[in-house]
Amino acid sequence: LYPHRCYNKEIFKMKPKIFISGSSGFIGFHTAKKFLDGGFKVYGFDSMNNYYDINLKKSRLKILKKYKNFIFTRGSLENENKLFDCIFKFKPQIIIHLAAQAGVRYSIKNPNTYLNSNILGTFNILKAASKIKIKHLIIGSSSSVYGANKKFPFKEIDKTDHQVSFYAATKKSTESLAHSYSALWKLPVTMLRFFTVYGPYGRPDMAYFKFTKKILANQKIDIYNKGKMYRDYTYIDDIVDGIYKLTNKFPSLNIKNKYKNDSLSPVAPFRILNIGNTKKIYLLDFINFLEKILNKKIKRNYLPMQKGDVHSTLSDSSLLKRITGYNPKTNYKTGIRKFIDWYLNFYN
């Protein structure tokens, strides 16, 4: 039934073992590297699709393959047999599910891709995790699920009924699917809602990445809603630190695990957590600092709000802090400098 050879028996002797989907993606790569540096055994699984420059994904993978404790399989989450074969034979204690089709704007033109990757792919991860009785399943969600919410900062216990993009709707759907599996099979699940993650080896479809590329090429940049918006920009090292600290803090129905304003489900070992920088950064301030550090006058093209986008995001990550001690330390100016240093070096 599972013919794919996805493992090496010799590396199964040490514990704990971590399975990371989307290991060649932006957050997945940095997360895998963090655990490998900590001496963990990591199994990476990634489709290596061409949504953006595959050479960037190959560069991330090349770094991970230097670790003797790393195994990798190229495959899609929709391929149930291949995914199950890898997970069942590796027998991880922790699964960190970060693979997903990203991008708000791309989801408007290609919704089928999001249905397959985000919903069917997550469903297959849930099935595999429940069968091997995983100790903790961490699933990447998104701040976009807050949609049209007007109350800031966003809290996990806020209602999230008004998504404004198809991408956000698929992320909200995965939260519901995960909760049902958690309730049915007592599967410990934590959903992590990421807030505008940026940094070295980032995604080229993200605004800061596109801005940098165009500014250096002396091209005009598009600024939506005339720049009148803000984001909770979160540096990648802070994100990864939060994930790392969270792995052994799995949700439980035990009342002793309750925290103030806890999002813990009353019927399942299931919790939703924001993970952001908790700082309000205005888009124009972000762009102006890019202009300063690159020492180039930016040509600006101001446009109205784009379909599917939201005006602002801001996280309340205090629940994650109470549970893990999470404390984001990187301000956006330091983070941008680190990204620019990487970008100039990587692209010569």
Catalytic choice (43, 146, 167, 208): 167
Q: What is the CA radius of gyration of the chain?
A: 20
Cα separation, 48 vs 50, in Å, equals 7
DSSP H or E segment with residue 137: strand 136-142
Beta-carbon neighbour count of residue 119 at 10 Å?
18
Encoded amino acid at 96, one letter? I
- Peptide linkage before 251 cis (omega within 30 of 0): no
- Structure token pair of residue 255: 């009342």
Cα separation, 121 vs 24, in Å, equals 16
| Catalytic-residue membership of 167 | yes
Q: How many residues belong to the chain?
A: 348
- The contacts of residue 111 (CB under 8 Å, 6+ apart) are 166
Of the candidates 194, 243, 325, the residue with the CA atom closest to the CA atom of residue 20:
243
Beta-carbon neighbour count of residue 304 at 10 Å?
8
Of the candidates 59, 16, 6, 54, the residue with the CA atom closest to the CA atom of residue 36:
16
Active site residues: 167
